[in-house]
């Protein structure tokens, strides 16, 4: 019986097929950063519930009645749907299809650019709706300094709005980088994917905020 030494096996390249699947460092870094952002919003939620427990129930209810739940629901639906368009942009990026292959109205032929632009428009609509809501609430006497309720309302929703605005700026960066690239490749696809992580995150946070602020009141 022939005995194959470890030295012989080491010298034989056919015995050295080792595959190591390492996680994408950009994706890992983004997830770690989002975890820190989650802690930030957790602190905002804690502040909201603390103020709610210490504020008289009648005064809290009087302030909460000023919210336009119907309008906010429509605004929320638009933001939630933008997560789906963002994910379609990711699918096209993973297929290395940056642009549409048909007419503009043929959405089934859209590429990453078109789906991401649609996501940007929907996100901008949400921010515009939030500004409109703020203006309406100010007219009804609800400001950041009018009461404790006003303070926690504007702080929680305002910080989320800033995060959505940051996502819109990131979309412009992704689109600009894609158009500037001579060839749409892995770097462009990775940028699209990690940006979608952030956008899904702000969407999920808003769903929680909407449920707590507008539905539970």
Q: For residue 72, what are the domain limits?
A: 24-216
Q: What is the full DSSP assignment across the chain? A: -----HHHHHH-GGG------PPPHHHHHHHHHHHHHHHHHHHHHHHHHHHHHHS-HHHHHHHHTTS-HHHHHHHHHHHHHHHHHHHHHHHHHHTT--S-SS-TT-GGG--HHHHHHHHHHHHHHHHHHHHHHHHHHHHTT--TTT-HHHHHHHHHHHHHHHHHHHHHHHHHHHHHHHHH-SS--HHHHHHHHHHHHHHHHHHHHHHHHHIIIIII-
| Residue 33 included in any domain | yes
For residue 23, the model assigns a pLDDT of 59
| Residue 44 included in any domain | yes
| Residue 9 included in any domain | no
| Residue 17 included in any domain | no
Tell me the whole-structure pTM to 2 decimals. Answer: 0.85
Whether the predicted pLDDT of 7 surpasses 50: no
CATH code at 61? 1.20.120.80
| pLDDT (tens digit per residue) in 70-83 | 999 999 999 999 99
**What domain count does the chain have?**
1
| Residue 18 included in any domain | no
For residue 9, the model assigns a pLDDT of 43
């Amino acid at each position: 019986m022939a005995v194959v030494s470890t030295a012989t096996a080491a010298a034989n390249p056919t015995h050295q097929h080792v595959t190591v699947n390492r996680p994408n460092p950009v994706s890992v870094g983004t997830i770690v950063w989002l975890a820190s952002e989650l802690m930030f919003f957790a602190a905002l939620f804690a502040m909201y519930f603390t103020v709610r427990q210490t504020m008289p129930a009648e005064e809290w209810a009087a302030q909460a009645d000023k919210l336009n739940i119907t309008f906010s629901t429509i605004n929320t639906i638009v933001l939630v749907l933008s997560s789906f368009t963002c994910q379609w942009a990711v699918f096209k990026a993973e297929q290395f299809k940056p642009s549409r292959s048909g007419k503009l109205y043929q959405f089934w032929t859209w590429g990453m650019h078109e789906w991401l632009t649609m996501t940007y428009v929907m996100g901008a609509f949400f921010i515009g709706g939030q500004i409109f809501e703020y203006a309406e609430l100010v007219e009804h006497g609800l400001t950041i300094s009018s009461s404790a309720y006003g303070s926690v309302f504007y702080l929680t929703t305002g910080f989320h709005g800033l995060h959505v605005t940051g996502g819109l700026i990131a979309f412009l960066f992704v689109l600009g980088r894609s158009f500037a690239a001579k060839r749409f490749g892995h770097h462009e696809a990775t940028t699209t994917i990690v940006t979608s992580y952030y956008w899904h995150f702000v969407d999920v946070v808003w769903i929680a905020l909407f449920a707590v602020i507008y539905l539970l009141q």
